[in-house]
């Protein structure tokens, strides 16, 4: 299996997704847009992962490659590709599918639970998960659920945490791919955002969690990838 990854910043990489690809013998290619905005022919990409990043989806002046990336995403989706978007990646997909992306009522940074919707329990991609899971968040913006998509999860701070379109395009506002190393990286690079607020944890609270917390989200990530990309 060939999987292409769109990466927006050096400090938000695929994390445990790479462990899953190595375990299963899948081939991984990258577009590291922070270094080179070139994108592959969308007709050659049938499995795509779109990572997160600190930018807003409309910051075209600072990140001119965003327009081309959105066009690329639209072509991959229209061509029948299987796509996973994480955080910024999910927001980009929502925008491409015609949904509104906007600032959320609260920034959500740290470890907080999500709850699955009743509809999520009926899907192949999410149906195996527990009804509630504590996951890692780092976002200020959020998305409306695209037309024709299934609303999969919510949290107390953010109603729309995940959606599934056409049983093959998945948007996750939260992070299941996170590892201790990736959490350390994003905390170091985005520490200015760690200001006291209802849904923002301190750097210490974010980093000093048991390994079992990462095992739980990474196990969920593997199960989702097995089902979404099979």
In 3D space, the residue among 206, 144, 197 whose CA is nearest the CA of residue 175 turns out to be 206
Cβ–Cβ under 8 Å, residues 63 and 88: no
Catalytic residue among 87, 108, 137, 158: 87
The secondary structure of residue 146, as a DSSP letter, is P
> Has 175 been annotated as catalytic?
yes
Catalytic residue among 69, 139, 175, 222: 175
For the record, the structure tokens of 1 come out as 């299996």
Phi-psi region of 15 (alpha: psi -120 to 50; beta: other; left: phi over 0): left
Residues 6+ apart with CB under 8 A from 15: 175, 177, 178, 179, 181, 182
In the block, residue with structure tokens 């999500």? 114
> Has 22 been annotated as catalytic?
no
* Alpha-carbon distances, residue 96 vs 12, 28, 93, 147, 190 (angstroms): 21, 24, 5, 11, 26
Orientation angle between helical segments 16-24 and 211-228, nearest 10 degrees = 50
Chain centroid to Cα 29, Å, comes to 18
Which sequence positions are flagged as catalytic? 87, 175, 177
């Amino acid at each position: 299996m060939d999987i292409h990854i769109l990466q927006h910043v050096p400090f938000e990489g695929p994390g445990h997704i790479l462990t899953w690809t190595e375990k299963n013998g899948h081939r991984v290619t990258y577009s590291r847009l922070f270094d080179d905005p070139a994108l592959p022919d969308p007709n050659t990409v049938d499995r795509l992962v779109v990572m997160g990043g600190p930018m807003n989806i409309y910051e075209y002046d600072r990140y001119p490659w965003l327009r081309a990336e959105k066009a690329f995403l639209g072509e991959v989706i229209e061509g029948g590709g299987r796509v996973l978007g994480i955080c910024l990646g999910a927001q980009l997909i929502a925008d491409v599918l015609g949904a509104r992306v906007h600032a959320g009522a609260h920034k959500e940074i740290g470890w907080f639970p999500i709850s699955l919707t009743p509809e999520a329990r009926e899907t192949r991609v999410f149906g195996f998960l527990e009804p509630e899971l504590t996951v890692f968040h780092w976002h200020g913006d959020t998305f409306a659920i695209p037309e024709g998509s299934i609303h999969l999860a919510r949290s107390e701070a953010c109603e729309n945490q995940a959606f599934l379109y056409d049983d093959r395009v998945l948007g996750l506002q939260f992070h299941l791919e996170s590892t201790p190393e990736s959490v350390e990286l994003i905390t170091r690079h985005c520490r200015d955002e760690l200001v006291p607020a209802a849904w923002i944890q301190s750097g210490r609270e974010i980093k000093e969690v048991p390994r079992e917390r990462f095992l739980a989200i990474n196990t969920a990530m593997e199960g989702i990838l097995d089902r979404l990309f099979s």
